[in-house]
Protein backbone atom coordinates (compact mmCIF):
# COMPACT_ATOMS: atom_id res chain seq x y z
CA UNK A 1 0.00 0.00 0.00
CA UNK A 2 1.49 3.35 -1.04
CA UNK A 3 1.56 6.56 1.01
CA UNK A 4 -1.63 7.98 -0.52
CA UNK A 5 -3.56 4.79 0.20
CA UNK A 6 -2.28 4.74 3.79
CA UNK A 7 -3.43 8.34 4.21
CA UNK A 8 -6.86 7.49 2.79
CA UNK A 9 -7.10 4.53 5.17
CA UNK A 10 -6.25 6.76 8.15
CA UNK A 11 -8.86 9.36 7.17
CA UNK A 12 -11.42 6.59 6.65
CA UNK A 13 -10.77 5.23 10.15
CA UNK A 14 -11.09 8.74 11.66
CA UNK A 15 -14.32 9.34 9.75
CA UNK A 16 -15.83 6.06 11.00
CA UNK A 17 -15.02 6.97 14.61
CA UNK A 18 -16.46 10.47 14.16
CA UNK A 19 -19.68 9.18 12.58
CA UNK A 20 -20.06 6.22 14.94
CA UNK A 21 -19.80 3.60 12.19
CA UNK A 22 -18.96 0.19 13.62
CA UNK A 23 -18.88 -3.51 12.85
CA UNK A 24 -21.99 -5.44 13.88
CA UNK A 25 -20.35 -8.81 13.19
CA UNK A 26 -16.84 -10.23 13.44
CA UNK A 27 -17.49 -12.53 10.48
CA UNK A 28 -14.61 -12.03 7.99
CA UNK A 29 -17.07 -12.43 5.11
CA UNK A 30 -19.24 -9.52 6.25
CA UNK A 31 -18.97 -6.56 3.86
CA UNK A 32 -21.24 -4.12 5.72
CA UNK A 33 -20.81 -1.83 8.72
CA UNK A 34 -23.58 -0.04 10.56
CA UNK A 35 -24.10 3.49 11.82
CA UNK A 36 -27.11 5.52 12.89
CA UNK A 37 -28.51 8.92 12.07
CA UNK A 38 -31.74 10.90 12.16
CA UNK A 39 -33.84 10.79 8.99
CA UNK A 40 -33.69 14.07 7.09
CA UNK A 41 -37.09 13.83 5.41
CA UNK A 42 -40.18 11.66 5.24
CA UNK A 43 -39.60 8.53 3.16
CA UNK A 44 -42.29 6.02 2.20
CA UNK A 45 -41.09 2.48 1.54
CA UNK A 46 -42.76 -0.27 -0.45
CA UNK A 47 -43.26 -2.52 2.60
CA UNK A 48 -45.51 0.11 4.19
CA UNK A 49 -42.86 1.69 6.41
CA UNK A 50 -43.11 5.48 6.62
CA UNK A 51 -39.91 7.04 7.97
CA UNK A 52 -40.55 10.37 9.72
CA UNK A 53 -38.08 13.29 9.85
CA UNK A 54 -35.89 12.98 12.94
CA UNK A 55 -36.53 9.25 13.35
CA UNK A 56 -33.48 7.11 14.09
CA UNK A 57 -32.49 4.95 11.14
CA UNK A 58 -29.64 2.57 10.45
CA UNK A 59 -27.01 3.62 7.93
CA UNK A 60 -25.24 0.89 5.96
CA UNK A 61 -21.60 1.38 4.94
CA UNK A 62 -19.34 -0.87 2.94
CA UNK A 63 -16.61 -2.64 4.91
CA UNK A 64 -13.97 -1.77 2.35
CA UNK A 65 -11.32 -4.12 3.71
CA UNK A 66 -13.66 -7.11 3.29
CA UNK A 67 -14.96 -6.39 -0.21
CA UNK A 68 -14.10 -9.13 -2.74
CA UNK A 69 -11.02 -8.01 -4.63
CA UNK A 70 -11.47 -7.44 -8.35
CA UNK A 71 -8.91 -9.54 -10.27
CA UNK A 72 -6.05 -7.69 -11.97
CA UNK A 73 -7.49 -8.70 -15.33
CA UNK A 74 -10.79 -7.05 -14.39
CA UNK A 75 -14.16 -8.21 -13.03
CA UNK A 76 -15.28 -11.67 -14.08
CA UNK A 77 -18.24 -13.95 -13.35
CA UNK A 78 -16.49 -15.53 -10.37
CA UNK A 79 -16.03 -12.11 -8.78
CA UNK A 80 -19.66 -11.18 -9.52
CA UNK A 81 -20.91 -14.32 -7.78
CA UNK A 82 -18.59 -13.70 -4.81
CA UNK A 83 -19.86 -10.13 -4.47
CA UNK A 84 -23.49 -11.24 -4.51
CA UNK A 85 -22.84 -13.97 -1.92
CA UNK A 86 -21.04 -11.46 0.31
CA UNK A 87 -23.92 -8.98 0.21
CA UNK A 88 -26.57 -11.64 0.89
CA UNK A 89 -24.49 -13.15 3.72
CA UNK A 90 -23.99 -9.69 5.25
CA UNK A 91 -27.71 -8.93 5.13
CA UNK A 92 -28.39 -12.23 6.90
CA UNK A 93 -25.90 -11.24 9.60
CA UNK A 94 -27.56 -7.82 9.86
CA UNK A 95 -31.00 -9.41 10.27
CA UNK A 96 -29.63 -11.65 13.04
CA UNK A 97 -28.02 -8.65 14.77
CA UNK A 98 -31.18 -6.56 14.58
CA UNK A 99 -33.45 -9.37 15.79
CA UNK A 100 -31.24 -10.09 18.79
CA UNK A 101 -30.59 -6.51 19.93
CA UNK A 102 -33.35 -4.84 22.01
CA UNK A 103 -31.56 -1.47 21.63
CA UNK A 104 -32.49 -1.52 17.93
CA UNK A 105 -36.22 -2.06 18.37
CA UNK A 106 -36.92 1.54 17.30
CA UNK A 107 -34.91 1.24 14.07
CA UNK A 108 -37.50 0.59 11.36
CA UNK A 109 -35.43 1.31 8.25
CA UNK A 110 -31.90 1.23 6.87
CA UNK A 111 -30.32 3.56 4.33
CA UNK A 112 -27.13 3.25 2.36
CA UNK A 113 -25.43 5.41 -0.23
CA UNK A 114 -23.24 3.37 -2.54
CA UNK A 115 -21.38 4.63 -5.58
CA UNK A 116 -21.78 2.31 -8.57
CA UNK A 117 -22.94 2.61 -12.16
CA UNK A 118 -26.71 2.43 -11.78
CA UNK A 119 -27.63 0.77 -15.04
CA UNK A 120 -31.24 -0.45 -15.40
CA UNK A 121 -30.00 -4.00 -14.84
CA UNK A 122 -28.09 -3.04 -11.69
CA UNK A 123 -31.19 -1.34 -10.30
CA UNK A 124 -33.27 -4.45 -10.99
CA UNK A 125 -30.71 -6.60 -9.19
CA UNK A 126 -30.66 -4.29 -6.17
CA UNK A 127 -34.45 -4.42 -6.02
CA UNK A 128 -34.35 -8.21 -6.12
CA UNK A 129 -32.06 -8.06 -3.10
CA UNK A 130 -34.71 -6.00 -1.30
CA UNK A 131 -33.33 -2.48 -1.76
CA UNK A 132 -35.31 0.51 -2.94
CA UNK A 133 -33.22 2.82 -5.13
CA UNK A 134 -33.97 6.54 -4.77
CA UNK A 135 -32.42 9.52 -6.53
CA UNK A 136 -30.42 11.96 -4.43
CA UNK A 137 -31.12 15.66 -4.51
CA UNK A 138 -27.75 17.27 -5.32
CA UNK A 139 -26.65 20.26 -3.23
CA UNK A 140 -27.57 23.51 -4.94
CA UNK A 141 -25.43 26.55 -5.75
CA UNK A 142 -21.76 26.98 -4.83
CA UNK A 143 -22.00 24.26 -2.16
CA UNK A 144 -22.97 21.72 -4.79
CA UNK A 145 -20.09 22.76 -7.04
CA UNK A 146 -17.65 21.81 -4.26
CA UNK A 147 -19.38 19.01 -2.33
CA UNK A 148 -20.42 16.78 -5.23
CA UNK A 149 -16.97 16.62 -6.94
CA UNK A 150 -15.31 16.16 -3.53
CA UNK A 151 -17.55 13.21 -2.71
CA UNK A 152 -16.87 11.64 -6.10
CA UNK A 153 -13.11 12.08 -5.59
CA UNK A 154 -13.31 10.50 -2.13
CA UNK A 155 -15.11 7.48 -3.54
CA UNK A 156 -12.40 7.10 -6.19
CA UNK A 157 -9.68 7.36 -3.53
CA UNK A 158 -11.38 4.69 -1.40
CA UNK A 159 -11.56 2.34 -4.36
CA UNK A 160 -7.91 2.97 -5.20
CA UNK A 161 -6.85 2.30 -1.61
CA UNK A 162 -8.92 -0.80 -0.82
CA UNK A 163 -9.70 -2.39 -4.19
CA UNK A 164 -7.22 -0.92 -6.70
CA UNK A 165 -8.54 -2.68 -9.80
CA UNK A 166 -11.97 -1.10 -9.23
CA UNK A 167 -10.50 2.39 -9.72
CA UNK A 168 -8.62 1.58 -12.91
CA UNK A 169 -10.21 3.48 -15.80
CA UNK A 170 -12.93 4.92 -13.54
CA UNK A 171 -13.59 8.61 -14.20
CA UNK A 172 -15.16 10.89 -11.61
CA UNK A 173 -18.07 11.43 -13.98
CA UNK A 174 -18.75 7.68 -13.96
CA UNK A 175 -19.44 7.67 -10.22
CA UNK A 176 -23.16 7.85 -9.47
CA UNK A 177 -24.63 8.36 -6.01
CA UNK A 178 -28.10 7.19 -5.04
CA UNK A 179 -29.80 6.24 -1.81
CA UNK A 180 -30.61 2.59 -1.13
CA UNK A 181 -33.34 1.94 1.42
CA UNK A 182 -34.58 -1.23 3.07
CA UNK A 183 -37.35 -1.42 5.66
CA UNK A 184 -36.85 -3.56 8.74
CA UNK A 185 -39.88 -5.62 7.65
CA UNK A 186 -38.23 -6.37 4.32
CA UNK A 187 -34.89 -7.19 5.97
CA UNK A 188 -36.46 -9.68 8.34
CA UNK A 189 -38.78 -11.20 5.72
CA UNK A 190 -36.00 -11.74 3.19
CA UNK A 191 -32.98 -12.44 5.40
CA UNK A 192 -34.23 -13.37 8.86
CA UNK A 193 -33.78 -16.98 9.98
CA UNK A 194 -31.22 -17.66 7.24
CA UNK A 195 -33.44 -16.62 4.34
CA UNK A 196 -31.99 -15.11 1.18
CA UNK A 197 -31.09 -16.70 -2.13
CA UNK A 198 -27.33 -16.88 -2.62
CA UNK A 199 -27.36 -17.50 -6.35
CA UNK A 200 -27.73 -14.94 -9.11
CA UNK A 201 -28.72 -15.69 -12.67
CA UNK A 202 -26.26 -15.34 -15.55
CA UNK A 203 -28.09 -12.17 -16.60
CA UNK A 204 -27.75 -10.66 -13.12
CA UNK A 205 -24.05 -11.51 -12.96
CA UNK A 206 -23.60 -9.69 -16.25
CA UNK A 207 -25.38 -6.67 -14.75
CA UNK A 208 -22.89 -6.70 -11.87
CA UNK A 209 -20.00 -6.87 -14.33
CA UNK A 210 -21.32 -4.02 -16.48
CA UNK A 211 -21.80 -1.89 -13.36
CA UNK A 212 -18.15 -2.51 -12.44
CA UNK A 213 -16.60 -2.05 -15.85
CA UNK A 214 -16.14 -5.76 -16.56
CA UNK A 215 -17.51 -8.19 -19.06
CA UNK A 216 -18.67 -11.78 -19.07
CA UNK A 217 -16.22 -14.16 -20.72
Question: pLDDT value at position 196?
Answer: 60
Give the domain extent around 37. 19-138+177-210
Q: Distance between CA atoms of 130 and 188, rounded to whole angstroms?
A: 10
Question: pLDDT value at position 175?
Answer: 72
Q: Is residue 90 part of a domain?
A: yes
Q: Is residue 159 part of a domain?
A: no
Number of domains into which the chain is organized: 1
pLDDT by residue for the chain (217 residues), tens only, comes to: 789 999 999 999 999 999 999 999 999 999 999 999 999 999 999 999 999 999 999 999 999 899 888 877 777 778 778 888 899 999 999 999 999 999 999 999 999 977 666 777 778 888 889 999 987 765 555 655 677 778 888 888 888 898 888 777 777 777 777 889 999 999 999 999 866 655 555 555 555 555 555 444 4
| Phi, psi (deg, nearest 5) at residue 95 | -60, -40
Q: Is residue 49 part of a domain?
A: yes
- The structure's pTM equals 0.83
Question: pLDDT value at position 102?
Answer: 95
Q: Is residue 87 part of a domain?
A: yes
Question: pLDDT value at position 216?
Answer: 43
Q: Is residue 157 part of a domain?
A: no
Q: Is residue 155 part of a domain?
A: no
Integer distance in angstroms from the first to the last C-alpha of the chain?
30
Buried/exposed code over 19-50 (b: 16+ C-beta within 10 A; e: otherwise): eebeebbeeeebbbbbbeeebeeebebebebe
Q: Is residue 1 part of a domain?
A: no
Q: Is residue 105 part of a domain?
A: yes
Amino acid sequence: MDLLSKLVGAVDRWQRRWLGIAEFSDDPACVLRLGFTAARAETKLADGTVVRPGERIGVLHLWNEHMPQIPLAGPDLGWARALNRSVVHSLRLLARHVAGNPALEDVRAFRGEFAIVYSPGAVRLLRRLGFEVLDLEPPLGPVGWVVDPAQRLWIWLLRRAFNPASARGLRLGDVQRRELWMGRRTLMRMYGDGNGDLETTKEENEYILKSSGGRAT
